[in-house]
Amino acid sequence: MANRSVVQIDEDLCVGCQECTKVCPAFAIEGDAGRPQKIVAERCVMCGQCVQVCTGYVSALEQGYEAYSKKRAERGLPDTVNEPLFAAYNTSHVNEVIAALADPAKFTIVQAAPAVRVALSEDFGLPLGTLSAGKMAAAFRRLGFKQIYDTNFAADLTIMEEGTELVERVTKGGVLPMFTSCCPGWVRFIENAYPELTKHLSTCKSPQQMAGAVFKTCGATLNGVDPASVYTVSVMPCTAKAFEAAREEMKASGFRDIDVVITTRELAYIIKQAGIDFAALPDEPFDDPLGEYTGAGAIFGVTGGVMEAAVRTGYTLITGKELSGKSVDITPVRGTEGWRKANIKAGDLTLRLGVVTGLKNVIPVLEELKAGKLDGMHFIEVMTCPEGCVSGGGQPKLVSGAYRAEAYAARRESTFVHDRELPKRKSHESAAVTKIYAEFLEKPNSRKSHELLHTRYRTV
């Protein structure tokens, strides 16, 4: 998958309403009102929020089938796509996935991010926020994937690595505050706009990339296949994930961590093209062991979720004790406000935490950090999109603002319900995580885990 522009604006369709400029968190869209807008590639973080709000479109009904078919072909979309095609769009990789599934030489492994399972059903007429993890796994099998694993497993793995890294920075005098590194739009922004502050980022790869590295090493061994034949497909709520997967450094195993990324919307296209009745599918499990996950992994999709998951395990790493009952719900870090702080007591240590929702809200925080006004803060989560991954640019498109707010709320609530209903809610409780350390990675932040699961940052 080439490293190319992921999000684009079709000047033939753009009406210059400038709704995209209002939501762009990196101020990367320019143009006069009433005229086609342009994306400044050097500033774009590829989050796809412009894709979500764009209302300029071509449809077969209004512009004619010939014009519509031409645009659909230009974007590499299957003939079964009949919905309006909007001016702002993300580069499609649907055909690459379809080709891989038809290639007997490829051992196809798929993963899906936490936020996909609370939004995918919307594209099949089910109620907003419907949890479809089981139906999604069933659909993957009907499509012909060889193994159905899960990004949520890697989210739990991320917490083990990131939590250990945080504790070491706090106890051994490392660079603080430490910022989360799982959001590629945020990482690209700090690399471009504040490169001197990248030392504050966790060195952890995102769950998507950790999963790919594990699938092509441990996963290949588990399945008895040549790592060179493993083809990893990632289903994400985020358009920027395609950019992240294409980064040059994301191949520590000797192979690309992720071969191709598709969005939630694109997965729906593929399921429909295959003629699968998604709503009628039974619930089926993900494949073991790299498909097991806890509630901590599930909440990565909402703003504050990475922080909450980290605290659930960090508390145990610091105190040697377990959170239980209602104390597992770290409610002080929840919410949807732009910048919020919380102090969490962990034994003799008070963890000073921060959560940034929406990339525009991180600029004042970074300026405070540069000015030395964040002394004493330990850990800060940053997500580019308005309410975290549930509102990602690759999720089902929601044109109406009121409908959008309702959908985000429903996806968020479904995420927390899923967390509460899972038998294990802390990453370190995962038997699959325990197993992979015992048999493959040795321990969190070991030399081997650093080689595969961590990375370095640069100006891009």
From the candidates 92, 121, 202, 414, give the one annotated as an active-site residue. 202
Structure tokens at 114: 């936490």
- Residues with Cβ within 8 Å of 74's Cβ and at least 6 positions away in sequence, in order, are none
From the candidates 218, 266, 389, 430, give the one annotated as an active-site residue. 389
Q: Element (H or E) spanning 189, and its range?
A: helix 184-193
From the candidates 182, 183, 204, 238, give the one annotated as an active-site residue. 182
Q: Which of 184, 176, 182 is nearest to 200 (CA)?
A: 176
- Residues with Cβ within 8 Å of 401's Cβ and at least 6 positions away in sequence, in order, are none
50 in catalytic set: no
> What are the b/e assignments for 169-204, b being 16+ CB within 10 Å?
bbeeeeebbbbbbbbbbbbbbbbebbeebbebbbbb
From the candidates 71, 146, 241, 397, give the one annotated as an active-site residue. 241
> What are the b/e assignments for 390-417, b being 16+ CB within 10 Å?
bbbbbbbbbeeeeebeebbebbbebbbe
User: At what angle are helices 362-370 and 184-193 packed, to 10 degrees?
Assistant: 40
SS3 382: strand
> What are the b/e assignments for 336-357, b being 16+ CB within 10 Å?
bebbbebebebeebebbbbbbb
- Residues with Cβ within 8 Å of 65's Cβ and at least 6 positions away in sequence, in order, are none
Q: How many CB atoms lie within 10 A of CB 11?
A: 14
Q: Which of 206, 175, 159 is nearest to 378 (CA)?
A: 175
421 in catalytic set: no
Q: How many CB atoms lie within 10 A of CB 51?
A: 27
Residue 353 to residues 168, 170, 200, Cα–Cα distance (Å): 16, 12, 14
389 in catalytic set: yes
- Residues with Cβ within 8 Å of 352's Cβ and at least 6 positions away in sequence, in order, are 177, 341, 343, 376, 377, 378, 379
CA–centroid distance for 402 within its chain: 24
Q: How many CB atoms lie within 10 A of CB 273?
A: 16
From the candidates 19, 122, 161, 165, give the one annotated as an active-site residue. 165
47 in catalytic set: no
* Rounded-to-integer distance, Cα 389 and Cα 237, Å: 6
182 in catalytic set: yes
Sign of CA dihedral 33, 34, 35, 38: positive
* Rounded-to-integer distance, Cα 14 and Cα 32, Å: 11
From the candidates 19, 122, 161, 162, give the one annotated as an active-site residue. 162
249 in catalytic set: yes
* Rounded-to-integer distance, Cα 142 and Cα 10, Å: 34
Q: Which of 143, 62, 156 is nearest to 427 (CA)?
A: 156
From the candidates 30, 62, 74, 249, give the one annotated as an active-site residue. 249
From the candidates 244, 308, 387, 429, give the one annotated as an active-site residue. 244
With beta carbons less than 8 A apart as the criterion, state whether 307 and 313 touch: no
List the catalytic residues: 162, 165, 182, 202, 241, 244, 249, 389
